[in-house]
Amino acid sequence: MDDKLPYLTTEQMREVDRLMIEEYGILLIQMMENAGRNLAHLARRRFLDGDSQGSRVLVLAGTGGNGGGGLVCARHLRNQGADVRVFTTAGASRFAEVPRHQLAILGKMGAPVEVWDSGANLPPADLVIDALIGYSLRGAPTGAAASLIGAANAQGAPILALDAPSGLDTATGRVHQPAIEATATLTLALPKEGLRAEEAAQYVGELYMADISVPPQLYSSPTLGIDIGPIFAKEEVLRLA
C-alpha cells in the first residue's frame, strides 16, 4: 500500500483542509472527531491489548487542531473505561475555538486536565498520546511543548503520535530538538512528505494512516491534481510501515 500512495507536502495538506471546509462543507470539528476517534481506536488495538478499561493513558495536547484531535481521543478512551489524564501546554483561553470546545467537553465529563508545569514529571502510564504539534510546526518546539516532549521521551511508556511526532517538520523531514521519539505515528488523510525522510524514521516509528472523511474526488481538484480511489474501503486505519 505504502509505495502506491502519494505523499503530501505541507502546502497540499493545507489545501486539503481548505477544500474540505470551503468546497465540501466538512467542518473542522467533524475532521477532528474522525481523527480523535481513529486515534483512540489505534491506541486500543495496538497498545492496550484491545481493551481500554483500566489502562493508564496520558494525553499531551497543544492549543491547535492537533491538540483538539488528542482531546477527542481522550474523550473516547475515557468513555471506554481508560484512566485518562490530560496535560495541556496552556490554559483554555489560549486554545483555538474548536479545540477549546473539545476541552470544555472533557471538563463537563470531569476528566482530569492540567496545564503542564515545566518543573514536573509525567506520572506512570501504559501509553502516552502526543498531540502537541501537527503540520503547523515552525522551528524547534519551545516552552511547555518542549518541556512535555522531554518528559514524554523520558517517561518510558510507548508514545503514539498524532499526524507527526511533535518536533518533526512534515515538509522537509527535518528533526528539530526536542522531538518526540514515537513508537507509532497515526498520520491523517494521506501521509506527509517529511514522514518518509531517512532521518525521521526513528522518530516516526510504526506508521499508520487514518480516514478523516476526505472525499476521494477532492484530491483530483485543479489545485491538487491527485488521482486516488477509495483507499479506506476495507479499514479506517491502515498500517503503512
Q: What is the pLDDT of residue 3?
A: 57
| Rounded CA separation 89/118 (Å) | 9
Q: What is the pLDDT of residue 228?
A: 92
> For the chain, what is the domain count?
1
Instruction: Supply the CATH number for residue 208's domain.
Output: 3.40.50.10260
Q: What is the pLDDT of residue 112?
A: 97
Q: Beta-strand (E) ranges in 44-95?
A: 56-61, 83-88
Range of the domain at 150: 2-239
Q: What is the pLDDT of residue 136?
A: 79
Q: What is the pLDDT of residue 2?
A: 53
Q: What is the pLDDT of residue 27?
A: 96
Taking each helix axis from N to C end, the angle separating 28-42 and 10-22, rounded to the nearest 10 degrees, works out to 120
Q: What is the pLDDT of residue 135?
A: 83
Mean pLDDT in order along the chain per 10 residues (241 residues): 79 95 97 98 98 98 97 98 98 97 98 94 97 89 97 97 96 95 97 96 98 96 95 96 93
